[in-house]
Structure formats: structure tokens, C-alpha cells
Amino acid sequence: MEDLSREAFEKSFTRTVAIFGAGKSGRFIAEMLGDMGCEVDFFLDNDIRKQGKQIGMARIISPEQFVKIKDDFWIFLSFKNPEVERQLLNLGISSKNILDLSACARGQVISFFHELCKESSGKKEYRFLLEEDRKTLCKAVSKIEFYDGILFISGWVIPSDRIHKVTIMVNGTREVPALREERRDVAKTYPYHNTDTCGYFYIGGTEFKEDITVEVLFWEGDAIIGNLVRRCKYETACKLIEHSVQEGKQGELTRTILMRKDYLLHAKESVAEVLRGYGKKFIDLKDKLYIYGLLYRLDMFDNRDMKDYLEIIGALDDIEAQAWLCEQEIPWMIFLHPEFKVKKIYGWQRSMYHDIARKIYAGKEAQKKVDERRIVILVDNLASEVYASAIFEIAIANELEKRGYQVLMVVLDTSFSPELDIHPCIMHQRSSMQYEKQHKKMKNTDWAIYYCQRVKFRERKIEAYDVIEEYRPCFVIDVSLGGLIVSAALHQHQFKIIHISLSGYSSGAVFDRYIAKSKELCRIDNATYHSINEEQIFEAPIKIPYDLEIMHPYQRRDYGISDEDFILVTVGNRLQYEMDVDFLAQMKKTLRTNGKIKWIIVGKDLGTIFYDYMKDAIEEGQIIEWGFEERLSSLYQICDVYVNPNRLGGCGSIELAMEYGMPIAMTKAMSDIAPVIKSENCKQDYSEMFLYIKDLFQSSKVRAAEGQKMKRLIDREDLTVEYFVDVLLAAYKDCGKRRNMNEQD
């Protein structure tokens, strides 16, 4: 392999360039090279699922396809792997055409580019090394380009709003003013320029034929917070945070800090304490919200912050913001981090739901006479056919319709709100209507789905209420993570509400009856949090009715897995929160002990801690980061054991694994799957769980017996959709006996 020299690097500006690895490291290298003026032509990857796709303008192809290219080329390696080098050499690629650009070599590349910039600064070129100014706390490489009288300034994650002043000197004497304008239309004309990291300055159509010098001064700002923290300048970093909050630059600040998150982790407590100080000092409630949201995003939030956070939310006079935070933010925080729960959190949430509902639905009249054959299923969103929640919700509607009820499913889609610029945690997503064709295929009867479409947050809440009120159902089924404000309003107007929680055993929702997977686990949680009147609880665990037909079987050899390998699998959308340090430590030890054990992880955003612990296993090829998988049934055919970290979620993917007779390795920690798999089939702790995995690895007979046990467990009568609907209707009938207004604290 060619040594990384300046001469070799300079050649990349005139050769065809390919990066081996179309993952995060490869994308980072492409961005880095792009900022230096070196365009990437191809990405090489052995994963057939990635081949044929594009990253920017570069196509992802196999190494075998690339060999056919006869141009002069470089291949940059985005990660160290001797197997990859051997593969390329076996394809006839000379080692002189392979350059290491993995993490250990990136510093050299940046140094080379600095040298190039210094040498070219006196020439008529538009790349410069920005001089350090009193208002600038670090030097930054910037690429300067002119198009149609617009000056583009791009640097290393330097948001445009941090640029203080741009001065253009012609021949060292004449100064030309650069007027900043918001030119978002430029992004459409020149799509290669990132609107978040470029400053656009209009030069009035001036054509520069002389040599020019560009001097750019930056405000003290968030682009360099990571460097400050790395140098233990915690107080200075937090002053910059305060400045950005005051200047209203929350969004840009968050993006930059999250990119520097690995530095911040080393100074966690110091930064957290200063941030908490700002949170208490600020007067504006939204500034306070922002600070606590930042603590959460930086993994610095803990139980002591929750009480302050709830007080701030409760004091807001912005109803839309308050509603979103109560209905979306708090339930998700509790779901991902049960340790954040405080004793009165559910009583607080229920009280807030009632209060917000009275304000949003003021003037609405009480419900008229209902139709005893009509039922509404109210959901926050309705995902695609591969998601367990959507399969479950539609299956319930199908069964009710089959029993002679008229069913209307109302889809709120209020889990996002583009006009609420209050918090860095607000997520944006498209409407559930994008899956309308899939939903129609999943329905086996002629019941209706109503997708709320009004733009404003409050209007959409009112739209859902009006549709349900006009339909006049005998009861409403609220299927949500932590309850819905619409349900609170309907309850206040005498509708009967049955709540089905998508996770957990406590709830701050407003309801008449509550369907839980386990009464016993509800009682355990209730002993601490007092969230539910236990007479309202009805028990009904359920298995998701997946389509078990395997249309596209996977083969191990297609993914570099041998028949002798022992494959563990874990599936999740939120694994960065769910894989704790103890779990990762035990997994690391297991993988290090035996090279035949491999671990497939289906999901994304695995988190910094995961990569810190699993660096060696990744390099050895024992960890396969699978990404999103629509065909779990096909994937499970090449796996041996499902490994579940301690978490509330994961129920759907585990149930599907059980359907195919796969052993499940998990502890007795409280989770959604516990009532299905039963306590006696779970291990006491991680140590016992990984010993169990070792037994499964050593004996195919034990593995087969454990797999059959899982298959018997999932085939129980009390897990069917029919049984669940029986319980649901029994809960409705019980509402008529005694309506509990559910107002306890």
C-alpha cells in the first residue's frame, strides 16, 4: 500500500478517486476531500444492498466493477482492514494505487492541505488559510468560490451565521464590500453547497480579474466549542452557548455541538454544571427549555433535572409548545430513559393533559347520543407495513370490523410540528399518508382511515376532535406511547376512552380503562409512581400478526458469513439508548473469546459508547452493522440467537424471532416482551445471560430445544388478536358499570 505522502495526495486532484467503504467513515472522507477540491467519483463496497445507489454524485459499485475502469486512479481506504487490502490486490490493483485514509491518517491530509493553501494564497486561486483574529479562537481552512456574483465561503462545520465580517482586498489596496444576503435559492442552483455550512455573500456581479485576498472574521461561536472543551476551556465554551441562546442560534449551535459530542463526553460533569447554572439564571422560559434540551441531547441530563424541566414546561404560556412537550417529548424521554422518572411525573402529565385540553377545546359542546356499533381507533401516526405498531393497530381494526363494528381510524400525525422552533429534540417526519397504499393492502375489510391534514399543530388537534365527535362512536381506543391530548378532551366530554400503551406499565394518559400486557408488572411500577387505579387495568399480552412467508431468502455466503459462524442478532431503532455499558462489556468479552461468534445489529445511530467498546470487534469483522431491514423474516434465517439488552422496547422483533424458533437471550429486567417470554425463561443478569449464549454456541441440541420452547410460547391462545379484542370489548362493557374520572395525582 502506498505511503500517504504529500506528492501522492496531490495526485488525487487529477486522478479518478474511489473510497472503499460507503459507511459513515467513507462519507466523512468524501466531505473532507470535497472541501479540499478533490471530487470523489466512486464508492466501493462489498454490501450488495448498497451497490447501485449514490452518495452525492458518486455511485456505489463493487470492487470487481471498479477494476474495469482503465483511468488512472486512487483508492482511499476509509477503515483499516487487511482483508480489504488483500481483496483489492487479488483483483489486480497495484498497492501503489491504494492509500490509507483511515482515522490515523486524516491529520496528515489536513496538514498537507494547509500547506497547499499557504502556497496558493498569493496566486489567483480561491482557496485561503484564514488568518487568526482576536475574535477568532481557531484557524479554519475555507474554500472560496465565485458563481454569478455570489461568494461561497465553506469551512469545517462553520455555520454561516457565525461569520462576522467579510472583506475583499483587490491588489492589497482597494476594498470591496461584501453584502450578506439570505440566498436560499442558491441551494437549488448550486446543490453541491451545503446551506448549513456556507456563507453566501452577494458581490453585485463584480468580476475580479486581479489578484484578491479574502479576510473572514468569525464571531466567537459554536463552531469551535468542541476545541475549547477538548482544551478544558469549559467556562468559555458555556459562555459561547449562552451567547448563541441569546442570539437565537439554537439550531445551528445544536448541530455543531453534537458533531463535537465525543469531546464533550470527557468534560461531562463540568459542562453540565455550567449549563444547569445558565438554566437557572435565564429568565426567558424558552431559553431555559433549550438549555435542558441541550443537556438531554448531550447525555448530561439526569433524574435531578426532570423536576426543573417539568416546572418549566408547566409555566409556559405557549399552548402548542406545552402540548408537544407533554405529549411527545416527556413520554419518549421516559421510554428511552426510565431512570428519569420522578414519583409524581404521571400525575403531573395527566393534570397537564386535562388543562391543555380545556384551553385548546374551549367552547366545544358535550357529546350527543352515540352509536353503539361505531368505534374509533386514535393513533399518533400509522407507519408502514414493516413496523410492528402499524401491523398491530390495523389487525385490531380488522378484527373489530369482522365482528360487526364500524371502525374509523383517526391518524393525528402530531409527533412533529415544523412551526414549533422551541427545542433541539423536535423531530420532523412526513405524513402517514405516504403509506396509504400499504395501509389499504393491510386492511382486509372496508373500514376507514382518516389522516389529519391541517397544517397548524392546534388546528390538527381540533380537526381530530371534530371528526370523532361527528362520528359519534361508543368508545375511543387511544393507542399511543403516553396518551393523547385529544383523548383528554373527549374524556371531558363524556366519551369512553380505552388506552393501549405502546410501551411500559405506567401511564399519565387520560382514560377509563387501560389494557396492559401484565397486571403484575403494572402493580410493581404502580407501587412507586401511583399512575393507575388498578381496578382500571385489563390484562392482554399480544403477539404481532406478522406475515411469516419468506419471499426473498438470504444466504450466509452472500454476506461473508460461513456455515461455521455463530450469529447473534439484535434489532432496534433506538439502540444507542438501549445498549448500556454492562451489556456492551459482556458482548465485547464474548466476541473476543471466540472469533467464530459474529453479531448482526439491525438499526442505526448506535452511539459513541458503542464504537468505543466495539472498535476491535468491528475491525476484526465480528460486528456487522446491518442498517434498516425490511425483511426481518429473511434475515432471521441466517441467525442463531436473538440477544436483547435491558430495554422496554423490542417486543415486535423478538416475537418474530420466536415465531421462527430462535432462542432468545434476555434478562428478567422489566420489558414489553416479558409477559410473552415469561420470567422463568429469562436470566437473572447479563453474566448469566452470556453464559446461556455460550451454552447455545457449544451445543446445537441445546439451541434446537430452546428454539422450540420459544415457538411453543409464542403460539399460545392468549396471544392472539381475537383474544386481545375479547379483552378490549370486556373493558368497554366495564366502563358502563362505573366511570372513573381518573383525576388522581
Give me the torsion for CA of 243, 244, 246, 250, rounded to 10°: -160
Per the CB < 8 A criterion, the answer to whether 267 and 306 are in contact is no
SS3 content of the chain, % helix, strand, coil (to 5): 45, 15, 35
pLDDT at 467 over 90: yes
pLDDT at 204 over 60: no
Give me the torsion for CA of 153, 156, 161, 163, rounded to 10°: -60
The per-residue pLDDT for 698 is 95
Task: Give the pLDDT mean for 206-211.
Answer: 40
Q: How confident is the model at residue 109 (pLDDT cuts 50, 70, 90)?
A: low
95-104, 351-360, 402-411, 730-739: range with lowest mean pLDDT: 95-104
pLDDT at 402 over 70: yes
- Residue bearing the bigger pLDDT, 721 or 219: 721
Give the tens place of pLDDT for each residue, 682-716. Answer: 999 999 999 999 999 999 999 999 999 999 999 99
Task: Give the pLDDT mean for 181-200.
Answer: 34
34-38, 60-64, 281-285: range with lowest mean pLDDT: 34-38
556-717 and 362-539 share a CATH fold: yes
164 sits in which H/E element: strand 163-170
pLDDT at 197 over 70: no
**Percent of the chain with pLDDT strictly greater than 90:** 37
The per-residue pLDDT for 371 is 92
The per-residue pLDDT for 713 is 95
The per-residue pLDDT for 642 is 98
Q: Give the Cα separation of 431 and 452 in Å (integer).
A: 9
Q: How confident is the model at residue 146 (pLDDT cuts 50, 70, 90)?
A: very low
pLDDT at 21 over 60: yes
- For the chain, the average pLDDT equals 76
228-242, 512-526, 578-592, 618-632: range with lowest mean pLDDT: 228-242
Give the tens place of pLDDT for each residue, 540-567. Answer: 998 899 988 888 889 998 888 999 999 9
Q: Which residues contact 616 (CB under 8 A, 6 or more apart)?
A: 588, 592
Give the tens place of pLDDT for each residue, 169-180. Answer: 544 444 444 433
pLDDT at 655 over 90: yes
pLDDT at 103 over 60: no
Sheet strands (E) in 437-516: 448-451, 473-480, 497-501, 513-516
Per the CB < 8 A criterion, the answer to whether 168 and 202 are in contact is no
Q: Which residues contact 744 (CB under 8 A, 6 or more apart)?
A: 347, 350, 530, 533
Topology, domain 362-539: Rossmann fold (3.40.50)
Topology, domain 556-717: Rossmann fold (3.40.50)
Give the tens place of pLDDT for each residue, 438-454. Answer: 999 999 888 999 999 88
The per-residue pLDDT for 659 is 95
Cβ–Cβ contacts within 10 Å for residue 166, how many?
Answer: 20
pLDDT at 22 over 80: yes
The per-residue pLDDT for 590 is 96
pLDDT at 155 over 80: no
Regarding beta strands 150-155 and 641-643, do their DSSP bridges make them parallel or antiparallel, or are they unpaired? unpaired
pLDDT at 156 over 70: no
The per-residue pLDDT for 242 is 53
pLDDT at 129 over 60: no
- Residue bearing the bigger pLDDT, 147 or 397: 397
CATH for 6-104? 3.40.50.20
Most confident option among 57-61, 243-247, 360-364: 360-364
Q: Does the predicted model carry a pTM greater than 0.75? A: no
The per-residue pLDDT for 737 is 65
Q: How confident is the model at residue 363 (pLDDT cuts 50, 70, 90)?
A: confident
Q: Give the Cα separation of 675 and 520 in Å (integer).
A: 9
Task: Give the pLDDT mean for 16-33.
Answer: 79
Instruction: Give 500's strand partners.
Output: 479, 515
pLDDT at 114 over 50: no
Give the DSSP letter of residue 12. T
Domain spans of the chain, in order of start: 6-104, 121-219, 362-539, 556-717
